[in-house]
Amino acid sequence: MEIKTLRTFETFISVSKTLCLSRSAELLDCNPSTITRRLKSLELETGCSLIACHSKVVELTPQGEAFLPKIEDLVNRYREAIDSIGPCANLLQGEVVIGMHQPAAYLLSELVLMEIQEKFPNLKLKILTIPPRYMSSMEGCDITFTPIQPTDKDLIARPLGSAREYFCAATDYLARYGEPATLSELANHKLISTLFTGSETKCWKWNHANGEHGLIDIKPNMTVDSHQISTQWMLAGFGISMVPERWLSRITQGGYRILFDSQYYVERELFAVYRSRHYLNDGLRMLIDHIARVLQSSRLKHRPLSPTGQL
């Protein structure tokens, strides 16, 4: 694959995630005109309109929606092939201070950070667990991984991927209060909200397996800033909560169900946040690229869950 072609594919993927040409230009360290030129080149090559721009609104066309997962898979496989022949180990060395909220620290440690530590023994990782709402200061951190896009314009937030969370309730709770058949019936139930942003105390953004999505107003009985705690209270029968997909098959305690036949879920984005693209050295850039590829590859391997959380 020519580097020029790879950059064009990466540009399309970035724009499809950010839905903003200027934001993608910042993330890819190029001019907005370069983004536009690459997209037009790709559309000429495919013979299809992939990105629609209406005034300040950018969205994928149906052809773009169909094209995106195939291009993501292609780029991921190319990057994995490059990794397999041995990246420059001397680029990843010294100390890197990473700030993350607790669920992200657990996920990334398991998926990629332990592997990176073994592959690059000269790299010293320092991981700080920080509540997401305090991450925007970047105090003491080289980089943070967070589900919240910062409002500070001096910070860069690069989308890394997303993870699913499912509506879950203990069987004891369902025996007492009944099982909701529709999302609107959640209004009649006790809810436990995992608080990352203020909006999550008012609504949940849901997705359906058929591609539909929307918002549902909520009035939670409890809010916490940790999935571990919300899952603990859910298992104890205190209400319905959102549980990350990767946690479900590992809950040793039985007696819970995934609601709505696993068809409804919340898609939680994860961002790498740093001060500016000029701040990144080659090692940090390589670290972020590798984490993004692993998360995207893991997401592409998603399989439907049974109501008891098994794959």
Pairing mode of beta strands 143-146, 256-258: unpaired
- Here the tokens at position 276 are 């500016």
Question: Each residue of 3-14: pLDDT tens digit?
Answer: 678 889 989 988
Q: Say which CATH class 89-161+269-300 falls into.
A: alpha beta
CATH 1.10.10.10, applies to 162-267: no
The predicted structure's pLDDT at residue 252 = 66
22-29: Cβ within 8 A, 24+ apart: 26/156, 26/277, 27/156, 27/158, 27/277, 29/277
89-161+269-300 and 162-267, same CATH topology:
yes
Q: Which CATH architecture has domain 3-84?
A: Orthogonal Bundle (1.10)
Residue 150 has pLDDT above 80, yes or no: no
The predicted structure's pLDDT at residue 197 = 54
- How do the domains of the chain map onto residue ranges? 3-84, 89-161+269-300, 162-267
Question: Each residue of 274-285: pLDDT tens digit?
Answer: 876 555 666 777
Confidence bin at 185 (pLDDT 50/70/90): very high
The predicted structure's pLDDT at residue 38 = 92
Question: Each residue of 298-310: pLDDT tens digit?
Answer: 654 444 455 554 4
The predicted structure's pLDDT at residue 303 = 46
Q: Round the average pLDDT of the chain to a whole number and report it.
A: 82
Four-CA torsion 249, 250, 252, 258, nearest 10 degrees: -40
Most confident option among 4-18, 169-183, 234-248: 169-183
Instruction: Name the pTM for this structure.
Output: 0.68
Question: Each residue of 36-79: pLDDT tens digit?
Answer: 999 999 999 999 999 998 777 888 999 999 999 999 888 878 87
Residue 242 has pLDDT above 80, yes or no: yes
